[in-house]
Amino acid sequence: MRLTDEEKKILQGGQGEPRRIAMKILTHLGEAFGAERMIPVASAHLVACSYQIAGEAGIEIYTRLVEQGARVSVPTTLDPGSIDFERWNEFKTPKEYVKRQIVISELLQKMGVIPTWSCTPYYFLNIPLFGQDLAWSESSAVIFANSVIGARTNRMSAYLDICAAIVGRVPYFGLHIPENRKGEILIELTSELSDHFSDVYFPVLGYLIGQVSEDKIPVINGVPSASFDQLKAFGASAAATGSIALYHMVGVTPEARNLNEAFQGAKPLKKIQIGIGDIQETMENMRTYTSGKIDIVAVGCPHASIEQMRRYAKLLKGKHVHKEIELWICTNEVVEFMAKKMGYIKTIEKAGGRIMVGTCLNDCPLSKWNFCCLVTDSGKFTYYTPTTIGTKCYYTGTEECIRIAIEGRIGEKQ
């Protein structure tokens, strides 16, 4: 790789051991992917901040970095941790787990990271601009930054992300290169699906597109319009079932004002048509449990926005969650703060819902709960919870999730 004089100095240890190690690792990464040079990044987002992911090895790595004086050199935010720092007791988190998560938190903050503990950093405190290069981990945040904002990041992984945060650089390859961002396969929605597209379909369409796109960049044509939250749900789902880090949605996302722009003038390698039948079939496949009693309803994956909090509060106002059901809403401290001010938290908690802040079902140890059947409006929870929590799962829309939480079962009352 061609390195600048400053990068060579870093590599020779002229700016301290942590920067030398970080640069060495990133140089190897660049060489493996044929990168010719490094580029500066505007921010980083780290994933190995939860004790569940980092474990004792992560504590050891971060301890050594801190002892050697490591500091991040660009704004760096954190993915969800493994505990709700305020309510861990309420979520039956083992004390030892809490202690170890606090150690990680302290170490990372000594390096200068911003303790956001959220998978939606793009809503606050780490908001990228169009065309900016980033070093982000967290598949749902990466796909959002690339596709919805038009920023540029590869799917970084644990520890590569902290290396990039320390030196403020990444090797120039993959999605940082504009030509590599062109669409490769065309996903055409039938007019019947397009005309009846609804909120509940976004995670389902993402789930299906993640499965059919393999390692190609999909261009979706036929989604009439989409909100930030709908794109967030769509992307998280697609990035969970597939290795997608970028999609284009024609007329919706910034690098796809039309089909020609999405494909950068090239022809699609493949065309796939998706109709209502495909959506219904995928929705059925997302359900490993279809009727009867359940024990938990979880929403807010990716972390709920203030608009989603408003929606939950409205649906729960004057109602009560069934006494045998847990209703959990995952979000971050910033949204929680605002939702408290706006009275949403009071309404949700009065109805018997719990707010889970700075973590989520997939990052928090939940074995003490013995959950068996989860209902969710998230494609990403649907995909991961059978493995992480070991529950059966029922996917449905947000309104239906809340209705089920109140009535206590899927299907008709008995």
Q: Which is nearer to ligand F3S, 193 or 233 (CB)?
A: 233
Return the structure tokens found at 26. 């990133």
Closest alpha carbon to 125 in 311, 299, 337, 330: 337
Return the structure tokens found at 216. 């190609």
Q: Which is nearer to ligand F3S, 278 or 363 (CB)?
A: 363
Listed in sequence order, the DSSP H helices in 95-221 are 95-110, 139-144, 160-167, 191-195, 201-212
Q: Is residue 88 exposed (0-12), middle (13-18) or buried (19+ Cβ within 10 Å)?
A: buried
To ligand F3S, the closest distance from the beta carbon of 362 in angstroms equals 4
Q: Which is nearer to ligand F3S, 203 or 302 (CB)?
A: 302
CA 334 remoteness from chain centre = 17
Q: Which is nearer to ligand F3S, 186 or 236 (CB)?
A: 236
Q: Which is nearer to ligand F3S, 70 or 108 (CB)?
A: 108
Q: How many CB atoms lie within 10 A of CB 146?
A: 29
Residues 143, 145, 147, 148, CA torsion sign: positive
Q: Which is nearer to ligand F3S, 289 or 384 (CB)?
A: 384
To ligand F3S, the closest distance from the beta carbon of 50 in angstroms equals 8
To ligand F3S, the closest distance from the beta carbon of 221 in angstroms equals 26
To ligand F3S, the closest distance from the beta carbon of 330 in angstroms equals 5
Q: Render 39-92 in DSSP notation, one character per residue.
A: EE-S-EEESTTSHHHHHHHHHHHHHHHHHTT---SS-EEE---SS-TTTTTTTT
Q: Which residues bind ligand F3S (CB under 6 A)?
A: 79-80, 119, 140, 236, 301-303, 330, 360, 362-363, 380
Are the C-beta atoms of 46 and 162 separated by less than 8 Å? yes
To ligand F3S, the closest distance from the beta carbon of 286 in angstroms equals 15
To ligand F3S, the closest distance from the beta carbon of 193 in angstroms equals 25
